Structure 1
Amino acid sequence: MSGYFKIILAAIIWGSLGTVVRFIHLPTLILVFYRVSFAAIAIFVYIAMRHKTEVLAVGKRLYWIIAMGILLTINWTAFFFSIRLTSVANAVLITYTAPIFVAILAPLILKEKLEKITILSLGISLVGTALIVSASVTGLSKSALAGILWAVVSAITYAVLVIISKPLADKIDPVAIIFYEELVGAIILSPALFIYKFSISPLTLFILFVVGAFHTAFAAALYLNGLRDVKAQQVGIFTYLDPASAVVFAAIFLGEIPRPVTILGGLFIIASGLILVMVTRQRVETEVVSE
């Protein structure tokens, strides 16, 4: 299986998540708890089967990983709230403004230079977001607007998570980072088990397992393995199959046909991210050639 195919498959799996979540009738915090718990278990089994448990030794960097786990918990909770309150298209497309927030926050936190292309991409992304919001406003849906706000929270927390993980990426095995993030999330959300009254059918439990083990652990493993054979500058392009496929899955299985203005807004957001990815790729390749 080629690296490109692995990344494409991972993106499509992630794209189906919003649709699958709609079939789980549990409180959002309970849903997120089971998702991160099953993911942590699956990843630990994966590490143990490969006899790589030594990668879990992270030393003094544990505090940073705990912080990342907290951010991931907020990120997933916000995303699932968004899925519950607005359409899958709105939730996923707005969440995919995250690369723009990364580009904005990087100069502030990592002291990277704010470039003109970032400002251009931000402007395009904001136009797309405004179009999606306008579609909700004209529909007079307070729920949809609340869902969009949750999607913005999801995008921002994911952006911060990416920035924090950047200095750690070369020092800690990515699989270990994912495991600890999910484990911290499970610990944080465990009190919800005693707060909410709920029951889980065998079918729901199976779907929760799929969300944790398949949509998270398996997809992440595919993605990380695919990175070995694909240029980093090209990865971002393929990951945009996530929001594209999410809209298609929601239309087929949920009957959520996005309005033309929503589709247009989504195209603006995707275009803004692709511009950043492609310009960055071109710059890196130019620098390599010049060396």
Structure 2
Amino acid sequence: MTNTTPVAPVTPAPPATHRFLVPAAAAVTVVLWGSAFIGIRSAGFDYSPGALALGRILVGTITLTVMAALARKLRLPRGRTLVGVIVWGVLWFGLYNLALNAAERTLDAGTASLLVGLAPILIAVFAGISLGEGFPARLLLGIGIAFAGVAGIALATSSGASGGVSVALGLAAAVIYAGSTMMQKRLLPKVESLTMTWLGCLAGTVACLPFTPVLLDELAVAPTSATLSMVYLGVFPTAIAFATWGFALTRTTAGRLGAATYAAAPLALLMSWALLGEVPTPIALVGGSLCLAGVLVATLKLR
């Protein structure tokens, strides 16, 4: 008698290299976002907050357009998803950059790093409550260790010159950072990550167009080094880093990926040391080590 019971299809195993793609994408994002502090410092003296934000994301949009065209992945969403992506882009690429650029005009480096360091904590809390990711003990422990490291870096680099308005702008940037991550995590199942990054950057660019006259005026007198720094910010920490961030966020939890960004602070210290000759203090080095230790604790299972 012949057995006619249907046999379930066998799903082929993913390539062995697939499990390394998410950590690799997260690492690219962290390294490039760490380098953004150097770029902002280099360009921020010659470009005002609005002009720098517009120039950066305009270059980012052009770069992402080329990337999307080469990848042939552009599939525009519709309806509420399209509106959501546009709102996300205005917040993440537009308002976040404006708030952070404006804050760093008068905010000392230590306070700025401490305020931005609140974002991964907010992401973990928001993700645990609204996305059902929960509050894994190792994630919370890692975030606590990493934030202690950020506090150490802040103590070492603070000049004590922090105005109330600048602090408020820094806090606003951290809240926008966390909220935008939550929005992106919810939208990614409905839209391809590179398409979302491209469309969001375009929306942020359109929102910043009122700064065009200021950008053109400052572009005419800014030194080449500052303009090249702005271009660098658009190509690498914006286009490439946000593309790899979207890829990783699609495939892991928001809490763990947010915790991974704590590694940007010690990387920025090392880059500043190597490129700008700014020798970190022992306290800053200890803080950087704590940041890296916390990231390892929180993201050991990043996949």
Aligned length: 276
Secondary structure class of the residue paired with 2:186: coil
Q: Is the 8 A contact 1:93 1:266 kept in 2?
A: no
Partner of residue 210, structure 1:
232
Higher relative contact order (CA 8 A, sep 6+): 1
- 1:160 to 2:179 alignment: yes
Residue 64 of structure 1: how far off its partner (Å): 1.3
Residue 271 of structure 1: how far off its partner (Å): 4.1
Q: For 2:147 and 2:264, locate their aligned partners in 1 and report how far apart those are by CA, in whole Å.
A: 20
For residues 159-198 of structure 1, the aligned pairs below 5 Å read 159-194=178-213, 198=217
**Unaligned 5+ residue runs, structure 1?**
285-291
Q: Is the 8 A contact 2:55 2:234 kept in 1?
A: yes
Q: Which one is further off, 116-125 or 163-172? A: 116-125
One-letter amino acid of the counterpart of residue 157, structure 1: I
Q: Greater Rg, structure 1 or structure 2?
A: 2
C-alpha distance 80-262 of structure 1, shift in aligned 2 (>3 A): farther
Q: For 2:151 and 2:113, locate their aligned partners in 1 and report how far apart those are by CA, in whole Å.
A: 15
Partner of residue 276, structure 1:
298
Q: For 1:40 and 1:273, locate their aligned partners in 2 and report how far apart those are by CA, in whole Å.
A: 30
Q: For 2:73 and 2:108, locate their aligned partners in 1 and report how far apart those are by CA, in whole Å.
A: 40
Q: For 1:210 and 1:128, locate their aligned partners in 2 and report how far apart those are by CA, in whole Å.
A: 28
Q: For 1:121 and 1:235, locate their aligned partners in 2 and report how far apart those are by CA, in whole Å.
A: 12
With normalisation by structure 2, the TM-score equals: 0.72
Partner of residue 62, structure 1:
82
Aligned-pair identity in percent equals: 23
Q: Is the 8 A contact 1:44 1:179 kept in 2?
A: yes
One-letter amino acid of the counterpart of residue 179, structure 1: W
Q: For 1:114 and 1:222, locate their aligned partners in 2 and report how far apart those are by CA, in whole Å.
A: 25
Q: Is the 8 A contact 1:19 1:250 kept in 2?
A: yes
Match of 1:38 among 59, 63, 66: 59
For 1:169-218, what per-residue CA distance to the aligned partner results, in whole angstroms no more than 9, with x for missing partners? 12101111111221221122211234688321582444322221233223
Residue 19 of structure 1: how far off its partner (Å): 0.8
Q: For 1:142 and 1:7, locate their aligned partners in 2 and report how far apart those are by CA, in whole Å.
A: 31
Residue 153 of structure 1: how far off its partner (Å): 3.2
Match of 2:272 among 231, 235, 250: 250
Q: For 2:188 and 2:177, locate their aligned partners in 1 and report how far apart those are by CA, in whole Å.
A: 15
**Unaligned 5+ residue runs, structure 2?**
1-16
Partner of residue 98, structure 1:
119
Secondary structure class of the residue paired with 1:169: helix
Q: For 1:161 and 1:186, locate their aligned partners in 2 and report how far apart those are by CA, in whole Å.
A: 16
For residues 52-131 of structure 1, the aligned pairs below 5 Å read 52-53=73-74, 55-72=75-92, 73-86=94-107, 91-92=112-113, 94-110=115-131, 113-114=134-135, 116-117=137-138, 120-121=141-142, 123-124=144-145, 127-128=148-149, 130-131=151-152
Q: Is the 8 A contact 1:79 1:154 kept in 2?
A: yes
With normalisation by structure 1, the TM-score equals: 0.74
Secondary structure class of the residue paired with 2:32: helix
For 1:105-137, what per-residue CA distance to the aligned partner results, in whole angstroms no more than 9, with x for missing partners? 234433554455565456545544554555566
Q: For 2:49 and 2:108, locate their aligned partners in 1 and report how far apart those are by CA, in whole Å.
A: 16
Q: Which one is further off, 159-168 or 123-132? A: 123-132
